[in-house]
A = this chain, B = another copy of it.
Amino acid sequence: MSTAKKIHLSENEIPEKWYNIQADMPNPTLPPLNPGTGEPIGPEALAPLFPMGLIMQEVSQERWIEIPEEVREIYKIWRPTPLFRATGLEKMLDTPAKIYYKYEGVSPAGSHKPNTAVPQAYYNKQENVKRITTETGAGQWGSALSFACQLFGIDLEVYMVRISYDQKPYRKSMMNTWGARVLASPSETTESGRKILADAPDSPGSLGIAISEAVERAATDEGTKYALGSVLNHVLMHQTVIGLEALKQLEKAGDYPDVVIAPFGGGSNFAGIAFPFLRHNFQDGKKTRCIAVEPASCPKLTKGEFRYDFGDTVGLTPLLPMYTLGHTFVPAPIHAGGLRYHGAGAIVSQLLKDNLIEAIALQQLECFEAGVKFAQAEGIIPAPEATHGIAQVFREAEKAKEEGKSRTILFNLCGHGHLDMSAYDDYFSGRLTDHHLTDEQLHSGLKDLNTPAAT
């Protein structure tokens, strides 16, 4: 018997500042563009959608941004989160590698998403915003923002991808419990939704469509703002509390990672754990490999193009520089709903283009197999998204064994799988399959894309 060892952090060691990687990137991100004029847009163009407090963070070049006391107070409900040395897993894999994981599943929503939901609700509240709209796929982000808006007394309207709304009612119940209004997307309440429904009355929806609806609502209703759970700079920055805590915990363990691994959807999970270590790569000559793991069914980092594209399906957002499969690309309905997004955030895209991070795409059967083994070795059942990181940890641990060399691996266990047991059910009963994209499928969203190149 051998189980995880927890590395402790006390409450007053919760970070007091977020780390803003924009201050340290060798090449800055390209500016967002106005899709009409093709010209760079300034912060004021974002004002209909976001409160100024968040817009200023989006464009800030300051290295450290203070976490408001009220946000830190709420973080204390579940932070500091535990860092575990995965001694049970190391033994199971019989590897010389040392494996650590940061566990974000202890939050009230069961994932890392409240780390940004809470400050987003806070800055909206500061500017007297009464209502926020957002989108959600499987529901992790929607439930986290419901939790946060409830605490600050802000109304929340969530556009939930229709297929998840119908098939995964439990996340919807969570959002209702926290007082949010949940609409199946595409809906009849927006022009974007009506347009989609006119063409396809039975549309199962997609994250891109739901974003269009939520953005439209915020843009056309004066008292309403919009919130996004990943992709944007300020969202990624809020998540750095994960890596900053992990850094302190590893220091207590007398260790430092050679490899940092996280699943990749829009970038918030990966940025949260990796950016504080990239800082030391940039500044102190450290050489930690940071690996983003995307699903093979939605491989924007490994098979997408680096260019300007919209964040939503209809084309309402500014054009952002990103690795993208095209904003009309519809990924297969894999269980890791949080990873089914056509593009990557601007910062992560720039880092990948500059070869400062790595990316890999994995099939879901390999991921679930690793997830089940992890649960058996460590006792925690991972969310389907998290299994992508775990599968890559297995590969790195295996490589260490083959080479007979030790190395220290850190990964972000971004959430528990208690709300996703139907996915495990499908896995155990053989209903899950891998997804091999044909060239035609892969280029379906790119071939007619006439947005500007990112140069």
Q: Interface of A with B (CB < 8 Å)?
A: 1, 3-6, 8, 10-11, 70, 73-74, 76-77, 84, 88, 106, 108, 110, 125, 147, 150-153, 169-174, 176-179, 372, 375-376, 379-381, 416, 418-419, 421-422, 424-425, 428
Contacts and interface: CB of A to CB of B under 8 A. Distances in A.
A76 to B, nearest CB: 5
B88 A151 contact: yes
A107 to B, nearest CB: 9
A151 to B, nearest CB: 6
A404 to B, nearest CB: 27
Nearest to A371: B177
Contacts of A178: 375-376, 379, 381
A127 to B, nearest CB: 15
B169 A422 contact: yes
Residue among A152, A172, A177, A375 with the highest chain B CB neighbour number at 10 A = A177
Nearest to A380: B108
B379 A147 contact: yes
Contacts of A5: 73, 76
Contact of A418 (B3, B110, B125, B425): B110
B3 A170 contact: no
A381 B1 contact: no
Given A176-B428, A422-B169, A152 B1 contact: yes
Nearest to A12: B8
A422 B170 contact: yes
Contacts of A10: 8, 10
Contacts of A376: 150, 177-179
B421 A77 contact: no
Contact of A422 (B173, B372, B379, B424): B173
Given A10-B8, A178-B376, A419-B418, A428 B173 contact: yes
Nearest to A419: B418
Nearest to A148: B379
A265 to B, nearest CB: 20
Contact of A424 (B176, B379, B418): B176
Contacts of A73: 3, 5
A420 to B, nearest CB: 9
Given A150-B376, A418-B418, A6 B1 contact: no
A441 B303 CA distance: 66
Contacts of A170: 418, 421-422, 425
Count of identical protomers in the assembly: 2
B151 A3 contact: yes
A173 to B, nearest CB: 4
Nearest to A125: B1
Contact of A381 (B11, B172, B174, B421): B174
A425 B169 CA distance: 8
Contacts of A77: 3-4, 6, 84, 379-380
Contacts of A88: 151
Contact of A372 (B8, B177, B372, B381): B177
A375 B419 contact: no
A421 B419 contact: yes
Contacts of A172: 425
A344 to B, nearest CB: 29
A415 to B, nearest CB: 10
Given A3-B151, A6-B76, A73-B3, A421 B379 contact: no
A381 to B, nearest CB: 6
Contacts of A375: 150, 177-178
Nearest to A375: B177
A167 to B, nearest CB: 13
Given A5-B76, A108-B379, A177-B372, 4 more contacts: A1-B70, A108-B381, A174-B418, A177-B381
A424 B6 contact: no
A376 B176 CA distance: 10
8 contacts: A3-B74, A150-B376, A170-B421, A170-B425, A173-B425, A176-B428, A177-B381, A179-B376
A1 B372 CA distance: 40
A1 B149 CA distance: 10
Contacts of A11: 6, 8
Contacts of A174: 381, 418, 421, 424
